[in-house]
Chains A and B, each alone.
Chain A
Amino acid sequence: NAGVMQNPRHLVRRRGQEARLRCSPMKGHSHVYWYRQLPEEGLKFMVYLQKENIIDESGMPKERFSAEFPKEGPSILRIQQVVRGDSAAYFCASSPVWREVPYEQYFGPGTRLTVT
């Protein structure tokens, strides 16, 4: 059973460009979470999605950031007009629908975004 997959693992963007980060949850998982880790910091929650539905986006910056989890395909975290402060590691986690292992979130390897 493949784990949570994220791609790309490393992404370099110039200021003003768009960044698209992809997350494929574990098989059978329909809940996806995005976290951001700024340099020398812990992870901070950004958004929680189910298929075609945003459940909690309380951690998302108000502008330039958006997330989706379509019926088919991976979850996408989109950052428009990136700035240097967006440079961070972005982690995706997934959990099963029925929460067989209570409150277990399985983390992907992360995408390291560098804005130049």
Chain B
Amino acid sequence: AQKVTQAQTEISVVEKEDVTLDCVYETRDTTYYLFWYKQPPSGELVFLIRRNSFDEQNEISGRYSWNFQKSTSSFNFTITASQVVDSAVYFCALRTNRDDKIIFGKGTRLHILP
């Protein structure tokens, strides 16, 4: 069975602090894709990153970075020098090679306090 667990339901940090959002996934497939989406208060889903199971390189995009560790089935997301505009719900998600549906975690609500 496929599953995505985001253990942190809600996090609050003060602006400019770094924050890491955890994501642990389960799948028996060897080929799969992992995603992070941002859902701001306006409600739309904003795609942040896709990573395939064969690429364990960490990725950095501006203040965002992602740490993919197959050994621990984790795909954590770090925001450096957080800003108030980063306040949103963040979803980690999984899609396998033999299935078209995306499995979402329950999300982590991030509050960046000024």
Interface residue ranges, A against B (CB under 8 Å): 31, 33, 35, 41-45, 48, 55-56, 58-59, 89, 91, 93, 95, 102-107, 109-110, 112
Chain B's interface: helix, strand, loop or mixed, by majority? strand
Known contacts A102-B52, A103-B95, A110-B45; A42/B101 CB under 8 A: no
- Give the B interface residue count (CB, 8 A): 20
Is A42 touching B50 in the complex (CB atoms < 8 A)?
no
Within the assembled complex, what's the spacing in Å between the Cα atoms of A19 and B43?
A: 20
Nearest CB of A to B51, in Å: 11
Name the interface residues of B30-55: CB closer than 8 Å to any CB of A.
33, 37, 43-45, 47, 50, 52
Interface residue ranges, B against A (CB under 8 Å): 4, 33, 37, 43-45, 47, 50, 52, 91, 93, 95, 100-107
For B106, what are the chain A residues with a Cβ–Cβ distance below 8 Å?
41-42
The contact of B101 among A48, A89, A106, A107, by CB within 8 Å, is A48
